[in-house]
Structure 1
Amino acid sequence: MIAKRLDTLAISILTLLCMVFGLQQIAVKLTLPDISPVMQAGLRSVAATFLLVAWMKYKGETIFQRDHAEFWGIIAGLLFAGEFLVLYMALEYTGAARATIFLYTSPFIVALGAQLFIPGERMRMIHIAGLIAAFMGIVLAFSDSLFSPDSNLSETITGDLLALLAALMWGATTVVIKATPQSQLSPSRVLLYQLAISAITLPIASVIMGEDGVRQVTLNSGLGMLFQVVIVAFVSYLTWFWLIRHYQASKIATFSFMTPMFGVFFAWLILGESISLSFALALLLVASGIYMVNRN
């Protein structure tokens, strides 16, 4: 049974998840001096895969079995790994603010895919208006950092396109999970496909890209990786896929607009980065957009 609207429990869980996803960027940034970015993502997936397998064994789930969703599981896993790969590549060419803007076009991909491939997920004009309002809030929040007079135009465009590709992969992953036999699997099994495939592909990609990998292990990087493995890749992703299974994909995806807002807030709180006066208005736009998308 798929719920049409997000109830109070779902909204509370989604808000917490967006906070976690926002903190993830802080953890990645604090770990970067010690571990290169794509290798971080790969090691996170490796460790989280072992943690997930242990959880599934504890719950009595069979790890290796025919579930008639293998093909779509591999597709979702490759999209999941590809998203992180091209996103980190994008950050080599364009600014973090610009990459965030393009990455958070993902809910539009989910909304379009839901209309085409997921029965019963139809959006009215108010829902579309809500998506646009929330996205404009993200643009406003990062408006001060969008343009840099010193940036190389060709490199910036390359980075923007890579971030847009990451958004496409993120949205496509959600649609694949919701519109195929993957939707009938347990959240842990859905996550297993994605973690296992990215655990194999991302470390290999890091080596091919010539990254330094693990330079050293410090308290900051240790705590940062622990947070990414246990809280993000295991607990939060498992919860995210549970929500996708039980609620409309387009409504769930729209909530992700809150993530960069929390990211900005935590960057101010933890890293001392500045917040412009437009942030409050941006937050209002995001909240209004989410409200409109979740109206009947």
Structure 2
Amino acid sequence: MSTHALRRPLDGTAIGLMVLLCAAWGLQQVVIKVTAPLMGAVLQAGVRSAIAALLVFAFASWRGTPLWQRDGTLRPGLVAGLLFGAEFFCIFVGLGHTTASRMAVFLYTAPIFTALGLHLFVPGEHLRRGQWLGVVLAFCGMALAFVDGIVAPSAHASTLLGDALGVVAGALWAATTIVVRASSLSSAPASKTLLYQLAVSAVLLLAMALAAGQAGRVEVNGMVVASLFYQSVLIAFASYLTWFWLLRQYLASRLSVFSFLTPLFGVAFGVLLMHDAVGLRFGAAAVLVLLGIVLVNRKS
């Protein structure tokens, strides 16, 4: 019996966990933005990755997961880690120049870039007509959102920089996924793949933060501690391992349909908690992007 056949359709447990994960991922942009005045963006990202890497290493060691054997994953693992670090550099820095709601929409265009990349670089991953329609709708939504950032009376010039970094972060996220799918990492244990990404990004981001002098400008208080706990323990460690567990238990095609919920939660939390202004133009742009994500993830 194939591994795919052992995976089952979604039940109440899977649906509940997916909604919870999407809400947690959508809240992440708000948490990062709230903490930014107290702790430098790049330093915050580096500490997050470092804590999560230690937790994943401890978890993998406890489970007896082989981490040190030569299995051809070193080179793609380093590449995936560098891409992962660059992605979070763009997210954390970009949130200083745009709203949490806008970042959520631009960042979660990643499934669109992933579908395009898999179409180009992975045999058997060709886009169908409906998926191409999803790609077109998503890119129209991104274009409309950029126009909104230019002409909206409340927007500032710096918003465009943050928006652009959000799109770059989404593309880097997609590139990381493609490297994993198209290399020996695709058959490696999930915790080893995640450890590559977290450990390499931690070294990269912490070095950049030290070079920028951010280590000396930290105001440690309860909010900073709570934010780092949320980002590293709940998101980068627990939520990712839960996601990998779901992929092993349930049909991936059914799980991927929930992709649209994360930017939806991100916009909602940005409006409710950060009082982000969402006009009609940006709302229409978000709907186009979400519709594009749903179409790209639909299976024939």
When the two structures are superposed, what TM-score results if normalisation uses the length of structure 1?
0.80
13-22 vs 276-285, which deviates more? 276-285
Q: Aligned in 2, Cα 1:102/1:6: closer, same or farther, shift over 3 Å?
A: farther
Partners in 1 of 2:249 and 2:95 — Cα distance? 33
2:185 counterpart of 1:185: no
Q: Contact between 1:131 and 1:289, CA under 8 Å: does it hold in 2? A: yes
Tell me, yes or no, if the aligned pair for 1:80 and 1:169 is still in contact at 8 Å: yes
Q: Does 1:165 align with 2:168?
A: yes
Q: Which of 36, 42, 50 is 2:40 aligned to?
A: 36
Moved more, 39-48 or 109-118: 109-118
CA distance in 2: counterparts of 1:86 and 1:40, whole angstroms: 13
Q: Does residue 258 of structure 1 match 2:249? A: no
Please identify, of 49-58 and 246-255, the stretch whose mean Cα deviation from structure 2 is larger. Answer: 246-255
Whether 2:114 is the aligned partner of 1:110: answer yes
| Matches of 2:228 and 2:25, distance apart in 1 | 14
Supply the AA of the counterpart residue of 2:271: W
Deviates more, 1:20-29 or 1:272-281: 272-281
> Residues 83 and 166 of structure 1 are in contact (CA less than 8 Å); yes or no, is this contact kept in structure 2?
yes
Deviates more, 1:231-240 or 1:91-100: 91-100
* Gaps in structure 2 of 5+ consecutive residues: none
Q: 1:25 is matched by which residue type in structure 2? A: Q
CA displacement 1:28-82 (0-9 Å, x = unmatched): 1222232111111110111111111111122111332222211101110010001
CA contact (8 A) 1:135 1:257 kept: no
Partner deviation per Cα, 1:166-203 (whole Å, 9 max, x = no partner): 22211100011111110001111110000110111111
Query: More displaced, 234-243 or 250-259?
Result: 250-259
In the alignment, what sits opposite 1:8?
10
Q: 1:13 Cα shift?
A: 4.4
Q: What is the rounded CA distance, in whole Å, between the counterparts of 1:53 and 1:42 in structure 2?
A: 16
Identity %: 41
- Structure 2 Cα separation of the partners of residues 148 and 286 of structure 1: 19
225 and 231 in structure 1: CA distance in 2 versus 1, 3 angstrom threshold:
same
Residue aligned with 2:67, SS: coil
Q: Does 1:53 align with 2:52?
A: no
Q: CA deviation at 1:158?
A: 5.1
Q: Per-residue deviation at 1:162?
A: 3.8
CA separation of 1:16 and 1:97: change in aligned 2, threshold 3 A: closer
Separation in structure 2 between the aligned mates of residue 118 and residue 6 of structure 1, nearest angstrom: 25
Question: Greater shift after overlay, 103-112 or 280-289?
Answer: 280-289
Work out whether 1:199 is the aligned partner of 2:208: no
Give the distance between the partners of 1:116 and 1:48, measured in 2 at CA. 32
Structure 1 gap segments, 5+ residues each: none
**TM-align CA RMSD:** 3.8
Alpha-carbon distance in structure 1 between the residues aligned to 2:59 and 2:39: 27
Residues 147 and 212 of structure 1: CA distance in aligned 2, closer, same or farther (over 3 Å) = farther
Matches within 5 A, 1:120-135: 120-133=124-137
Q: Report the Cα distance in structure 2 between the residues aligned to 1:132 and 1:150, rounded to whole angstroms.
A: 28
Match of 1:82 among 86, 96, 100: 86
What is aligned with 1:235? 238
| Conserved 8 A contact 1:138-1:257 | no
Q: Which amino acid aligns with 1:8?
A: L
Alignment partners' CA distance in 1, 2:94 and 2:31: 19
* Counterpart-to-counterpart distance in 2, 1:142 and 1:164: 10
Question: How many residues were matched structurally?
Answer: 294
Offset of residue 236 of structure 1? 1.8
User: Secondary structure of 1:67's partner?
Assistant: coil
The letter of the residue matching 2:10 is T
Q: What is the rounded CA distance, in whole Å, between the counterparts of 2:125 and 2:245 in structure 1?
A: 18
138-147 or 159-168: bigger deviation: 138-147
- Pick one of 242, 267, 270 that aligns with 1:267: 270
Q: Distance in 2 between matches of 1:135 and 1:14?
A: 26
Classify 1:271/1:251 alpha carbon distance in 2 versus 1 (closer, same or farther; 3 Å): same
CA pair 233-278 structure 1, distance change in 2 beyond 3 A: same
1:175 pairs with 2:172: no
TM-score (norm 2): 0.79
* Paired position in structure 1 for 2:226: 223
Letter in 2 for 1:219: G
